[in-house]
Amino acid sequence: MAFLLRRLGFYVAAFIAAASFNFLIPRLMPGNPIDTMFAQAGTALPPESLDALKRTFGFLDEPLPLQYLHYLGSVFTWDLGLSVKFYPLTVNQVLVRALPWTLLLVATSSLSAFAVGSLAGAQAAWKRGGGFDSVGAPAALVLQAVPPLVTSLLALYLFAISLKWLPTGFAWDPMIDLDWSWQSVWSVLYHAVLPVTTLALAQIGGYLVTMRNSMINLLGEDYITLGQAKGLTERRLRLAYAAYNALLPALTSFAMSLGAVFGGSLVTEVVFNYPGLGYTLYEGITSRDYPLIQGQLLIMTLAMLSANFIADLLYILVDPRLRRA
Amino acid sequence: MIKAIIAFLLVGLLPARALAEADLTIVASLSTGWVRNFNPFNETTRLHSVRDFVYEPLVVFNAMHGGTPDFRLATDFNYSGNLLQLSFKLRDGVEWSDGHAFSARDVVFTFNMLRAHRELDSQNIWDRISAVEAPDADTVLFTLKRVNSNIAFEIVRVPIVPEHVWSKVADPVTFTNDNPVGSGPMTEIRRFTSQIYQQCRNPHYWDTQHLKVDCLNFPQVGTNEQLLTAAAAGTIDWFGAFLPDIERTYVATDPNHHRYWFPPGGTVAININFDSPDPSNRAAFRNVNFRRAVSMAIDRGAIVDIAGYGYPVVNEYASGLGRTYLGWVDAEAEKEFGAYAHFDKDAARALLAESGFRDRDGRGFVANPDGRPISFTILAPNGWTDWVNTTELVAESLNQIGIHASVSTPEPAAWTQKLISGSYDMAINGYLTGETPYRSFDMGFHSRFSGKTRFAATRFVDPELDQALDAFISTIDPAAQRQAMNKVQMILASNMPYVPLYSNPIWYEYSTKRFKGWFNGDNPVARPDVFDGTPERLLHLLALEPVAP
C-alpha cells in the first residue's frame, strides 16, 4: 500500500511538471498562430482587427504568469478552448474526432505485435540456437531497424499503388456515410489493413528480443529443471513456467507503448492519410495552434502516466515479491 | 415477348443515364479533415470553395489579360467625374439560392457589416471608402476617401452575402454558416464528412446556360504526396500542386488525359534585409553594388532547370516585374539596369572588388571595405522543396564570387515570423499577382506596409517610391498610370532592394477524362488555378462541360 501511495505521489508531481512544460514549450517556438495564418493570405489586417480576432480565439495579451494561472485552471476543468486550426471546433472536439482512429490503429497493432512477438520470442528462447532462433530473431530485428517511413512507403507502393489490392488512404471509403452497417465495418477494416500491419511489423522485433533474452536467463533456473524432472509437459513448462515469469520486462515496454498510443503514429498516419492524433498534433504544431498542442500533449502525458501506473499495478499482480514490500 | 424484354431493358437503362450527374472532383486546398465552415469572411479556417463558388463576385477582373472585367452580379461600373465616387450597376433577375431577390441592399448591408465588425474586413477596405449607398435597387454607390483607381479590384474581392440571412446572425465573426445561402453556381451542401464534402448546383442560379457541372466533390487530401497518388490514379479532375518531374509522375500515368499548364505567376526573389540585425552584414546590404553583385552571381536559367524542373520562367528584369506583366515593362529602366539582373560572374566579382569588398584574411571570402567580415544565412521555408533547392543554388553561386553565405531552413511559421519581425539577413520570398503590377509592388515596397507583412520584408523605403505608387492609383488615365509605373520600376531597378529569380509557376493540373473546356496554353482565357484567391476559377468552372460518355 505504501508502495502504491508513493507511486501515486510521484505521478501527481510528474503531471504538474509536465503540464507546466506544456504551457511553456509552444510559447518558446518562434511564430504565433494568428500571424502564421495571415502570412499566406496576403492581407494586412489593421491592428484592431487582429486584436478582435485574437480575443475570439482567447489569446489575451496578459502577462505570462496570469496566462499560466488561467491555463492551469483550464487544465483542471478540462476546458481547453477553441482550436485555431480547426475552428469552429473546440480542442476537445478535435481530439475526440481523431482519438477512435488512433486507438484502432495503434492499439490493434501494439496488441498484435505484443502477442506475436512474445510468443515468437518464447519459441526462439525455448529452441535457442535452432532454425527459427537463428533466422527469425535476426529477421525480426532487421525489420524493426528499418524506419517505419520506409516500410510504410514500400507497402503503400507495392500493395496500394502497383497491385491496387488495398486503398492508398483514408480511414474508410469517403463515398459512404459511416454507421454500424456491415459495409461500414468492412470498409474501416479494409482501410486499416496496411497501416496496422506496417505499424505492427515495426514493433514485433522489439518484443521478440525482449522476451527471448529474459526467457533464456530463466531457462537455466533450478525450478525449470525441477519442472522437467517432475515430468511436466513441455508446453506447460514453456508457457506457464518460463514464459509467464519472463513476461515482466516485456510487460513494461508494452505498457509504455500503450501510453504512446495516444501520441498516435505520425509517420504511418501521414503516409496513409489516416485521421489520427499524431497527424493532428503535427498540424497543430505547424500552424502554432497553442490550445490544440497543449490539449494533445496533456492527453499524451496523462496516458503515459496512467500506463505506467497500470504497469506498476500489473507488476504487483505478476510478481508476488512486490506485494510484501 | 422480345419487345417486352427490350422495353424492360430500355426502361432499366434510361433513368440511369438521366440520373448520371456531372461531378467535378477538385482539390483546392490540403487538409487533414474537413470542418464545416462556410463563412466567407473567416480568413483562417473557411473552406476554400466558399468564395466565388457560393458567393459570386460583382465582377471578375481577368489578371492574365490586364484586368479586363468579366461582369457577374454587376453589369457595369463607373467613376464619377472627380473620381471620388464609384457606382456599380447590378444585374437584373439575380436570385439567392433560397429564391429571394438579390439587390443593392445586400451589397450595402455586407459593406456596413464589415464596418461594424472590423475583424471581418481583412482588406481594411473602410480605410479607403467612406460610405456605401443604394440610390435604387440596381445601383450601389461607393464614396471614396481619396482618389483610388485600384479600388474596384479591391471592392469585388469582398464576398456579398444576403441581408435576409446575415442580418439575423448574432455574431458574424464566429458564425460558421453551415448551410450557406449564396448567389454563386454551387451553393447546396449535399454531403459533409471529414473525408469529403459535396457542393451542388444552385437551383436559382442566374447563369444556368453556362453551368454544365452538377456537383463539386472535395476529397480531403493531406499532403502533396497523397495528392499525387490520388491524381495519378485518375480520381481528381482539377488541382494545383508542385509535382517533381511531372511528365513522368503525372502525365505518364494517363497520357491521353492528364495535362498541366504552368503560366508565370508572382515573382520569387531573394529579399535583402536593409535592417539586418548584424551591423556588418547590414553595412554590406545597404551598398547597392553589393546587392547588384549578388544578383549578377546567380545563374537563373540553371536554377529554373535544376530546382524548378524547368517549370518557372526566369525573371531577368532589374525591377523584378517579370514575364507575367510583359505589357508594363519599362524599357528604359531595363536598358539602364537590366545587366544587373543577368548572370555574369566575372562582372559580379569586378563590381565587388571596385567597391572595396576584398578578401582580407585569405580565407576566400570578401569583407566590408572597413574590414568587418560579411557572413550570413539565407532563409528558405522547410519542406518547400523547390524553394529550398533554389536557395541552396543561390548560396553556392554567392560562395563562388567570394560571399560567405549558407542556407537555413526554418519551418514555414518561423520563416514567416522572421520576415515580419526583421530578424534575418536574406530570405527567399514570393509575391502575389494582381490585375496590374501595382498590387505586388505596393504590398512589397510601400512604406506603409514595411515590416508589417511578410511581403514587405526588405525594409527598403523611399519617399519617391511611395509617391509613384500613390500616383498610379490617383488617376484612371492610362498614360499617367504608365508613367507612374515606369517611375516605380526605375526606382526599384536602380536600387535593387531584392534579387528577382523567376516568376513562380501558377500550379494547375487537370484531367480531360470526364470534362472538356479546360484553360491551357492553346486556350489561355484566364489564370487557370483552382485556389482560393483566384476569382477567375468561376469563369473556368463555367467553361467546363462533361465529355460525352
Q: Is the pLDDT of residue A243 over 50?
A: yes
Yes or no, beta carbons of B453 and A56 under 8 Å apart: no
What was the pLDDT predicted at B18?
A: 40
User: Where in B158-263 does DSSP place strands (E)?
Assistant: 186-192, 196-201, 215-219, 238-239, 258-260
pLDDT bin (cut points 50, 70, 90) of residue B7 is very low
pLDDT for res A261: 64
Q: pLDDT-based confidence at B11, cuts 50/70/90?
A: very low
Cβ pair B417:A32 closer than 8 A = yes
Specify the pLDDT at position A40: 56
Residues from chain A that touch B37, judged by Cβ atoms under 8 A, are 87-88
Question: Which ranges constitute the DSSP H helices of A29-106?
Answer: 33-41, 47-56, 64-77, 91-102
- Whether residue A214 contacts residue A249, with contact meaning beta carbons closer than 8 Å, is answered with yes
Cβ-based contacts of A91 with chain B (< 8 Å): none
By C-alpha distance, which of A303, A280, A268, A266 is closest to A92? Answer: A280
More confident residue, B40 or A54: B40
Lay out the sheet containing B405-408: strands in order across: B313-314, B498-505, B264-272, B426-430, B376-379, B405-408
* B127/A85 CB distance under 8 A: no
Task: Flag whether pLDDT at B14 surpasses 80.
Answer: no
Give pLDDT tens digits for A261-296: 666 677 888 888 888 888 888 888 888 888 888 888
Q: Which of these, A104, A103, A99, A109, lies nearest to A254 by C-alpha position?
A: A109
pLDDT of residue B470: 95
Strand partners, B498: B271
Dig out the grid coordinates for A92 from the structure: 476537445
Query: Is the minimum CB–CB distance between B319 and chain A shorter than 8 Å?
Result: no
Quote the cell numbers at residue B118.
472590423
pLDDT of residue A38 exceeding 80: no
CA distance B195 to chain A (A): 6
**B130 three-class SS:** strand
- Measured CA to CA, the distance from residue B525 to residue A79 in angstroms comes to 51
Q: Do B194 and A97 touch (CB under 8 A)?
A: yes
**Nearest C-alpha of chain A: how many angstroms from B454?**
6
Instruction: Tell me whether residues A43 and B449 touch, CB distance under 8 A.
Output: no
Cβ burial of B223 (10 Å; 0-12, 13-18, 19+) is: middle
Site of grid cell 481619396:
B146
**Which is more confidently placed, B392 or A237?**
B392
| Contacts A–B by Cβ distance under 8 A | 139
pLDDT over 70 at B5, yes or no:
no
Q: What is the pLDDT of residue B57?
A: 97
Question: Contact, A268 vs A260, CB < 8 A?
Answer: no
pLDDT at residue B211 is higher than 70? yes
Beta pairing partners, B69: B61
State the ipTM, two decimals: 0.73
Residues 114-133 of B with CB under 8 A from A: 117-124, 127
Higher pLDDT, A318 or B144: B144
* pLDDT (mean) for B203-217: 96
The one-character DSSP state at A240 is I
Half-sphere exposure of B143 (CA within 13 A, CB side): 7
* Per-residue pLDDT band at A37 (split at 50, 70, 90): low
For A37, the closest of B43, B174, B455 (CB atoms) is: B43
Query: Vertex B191, ends B189 and B196: CA angle to 5°?
Result: 110
Q: Does B533 touch chain A (CB under 8 A)?
A: yes
Q: Return the C-alpha torsion angle B344, B349, B351, B355, nearest 10.
A: 160
- Burial (CB count within 10 angstroms: exposed 0-12, middle 13-18, buried 19+), residue B531: middle
The confidence band for B296, taking pLDDT boundaries of 50, 70 and 90, is very high
Shortest CA distance to B134 belongs to which of B177, B167, B110, B104?
B104
Q: How many angstroms separate the CA atoms of B415 and B409, rounded?
A: 8
- Computed over every residue of chain B, the mean pLDDT equals 92
User: Least CA distance to B419: which residue of chain A?
Assistant: A39
On whether the CB atoms of residues B216 and B199 are closer than 8 A, the answer is yes
Best mutation target among A28, A37, A45 (most B Cβ atoms within 10 Å) is: A45
Q: Is the pLDDT of residue A234 over 90?
A: no
Whether B196 contacts B220, CB under 8 Å:
yes
Mention every residue, 6+ apart, whose C-beta is less than 8 A from residue A5: none
pLDDT recorded at residue B173? 86
| Mean pLDDT (whole number) for B424-449 | 92
Residues of A in contact with B233 (CB under 8 A): 161, 168
Contacts of B218 in chain A (CB under 8 A): none
Confidence (pLDDT) at B225: 80
**Is B287 within 8 Å of chain A by CB?**
no
Cβ contact, residue pair A31, B196, below 8 Å = no
B38: closest chain A residue by CA: A88
3-class DSSP assignment, residue B287: coil
Residues 176-205 of B with CB under 8 A from A: 176, 191, 193-196
Compute the half-sphere exposure of residue B437: CA atoms within 13 Å on the CB side of its CA: 27
For residue B35, list chain A residues with Cβ-Cβ distance below 8 A. 86-89
Residues in chain B within 8 Å Cβ distance of A53: 44, 119, 173
Average pLDDT of the segment spanning B314-320: 95
Residue A33 has pLDDT above 80, yes or no: no
- Rounded to 5 degrees, φ, ψ at B78 are -145, 140
CA distance B250 to chain A (A): 13
Rounded to 10°, the helix A108-126/A182-219 angle is: 30
In the predicted model, is pLDDT for residue A101 greater than 50?
A: yes
Contact A287 B221 (CB under 8 A): no
Would you give the DSSP letter of residue B521?
T
A174 CA: distance to closest CA in chain B (Å): 6
Q: Which residue is associated with the grid cell 487538409?
A: B31
Residue A52 CA from chain centroid, whole number: 38
Cβ atoms within 10 A of the Cβ of A188, count? 17
Lowest-pLDDT range, A313-322, B21-30, B280-289? A313-322
Whether B412 and chain A come into contact, CB under 8 Å, resolves to: yes
- Report, as an integer, the average pLDDT of B208-214: 96
Residues A278, A120 contacting (CB under 8 angstroms): no
Chain position carrying cell 511611395: B466
Q: Measured on CA atoms in the order B471, B473, B477, B479, is the torsion positive or negative?
A: positive
Q: In this predicted structure, what is the pLDDT of residue B475? A: 92
Q: Does B418 touch chain A (CB under 8 A)?
A: yes
Contact between B32 and A279 using a beta-carbon 8 Å cutoff: yes
**Confidence check: pLDDT of B33 > 70:** yes
pLDDT band at residue B468 under the 50/70/90 scheme: very high
A311 band by pLDDT with thresholds 50, 70 and 90:
confident
The answer, yes or no, to whether the previous bond of A88 is cis (omega within 30 of 0) is yes
Q: Quote the mean pLDDT of chain A.
A: 81
pLDDT-above-70 percentage for chain A: 88
Residue in chain B closest to A87 (alpha carbons) equals B45
CB atoms within 10 A of CB B71: 16
Report CB contact under 8 Å: A36, B221: no
Long-range contacts of B16-23 (CB under 8 A, 24+ apart): B20/B549, B21/B214, B21/B215, B22/B212, B22/B213, B22/B214, B22/B215, B22/B514, B22/B515, B22/B545, B22/B546, B23/B198, B23/B213, B23/B214, B23/B215, B23/B216, B23/B217
- CA distance linking residue B364 with residue B355, whole number of Å: 17
Identify the pLDDT of residue A16.
87
pLDDT tens, position by position, A167-210: 888 888 877 777 888 888 888 889 989 989 888 888 888 888 88
Per-residue pLDDT at A133 exceeds 90: no
Question: What pLDDT was estimated at residue B9?
Answer: 41
Residues of B in contact with A48 (CB under 8 A): 118
Question: Could you tell me if B449 lies within 8 Å of chain A, comparing CB atoms?
Answer: yes
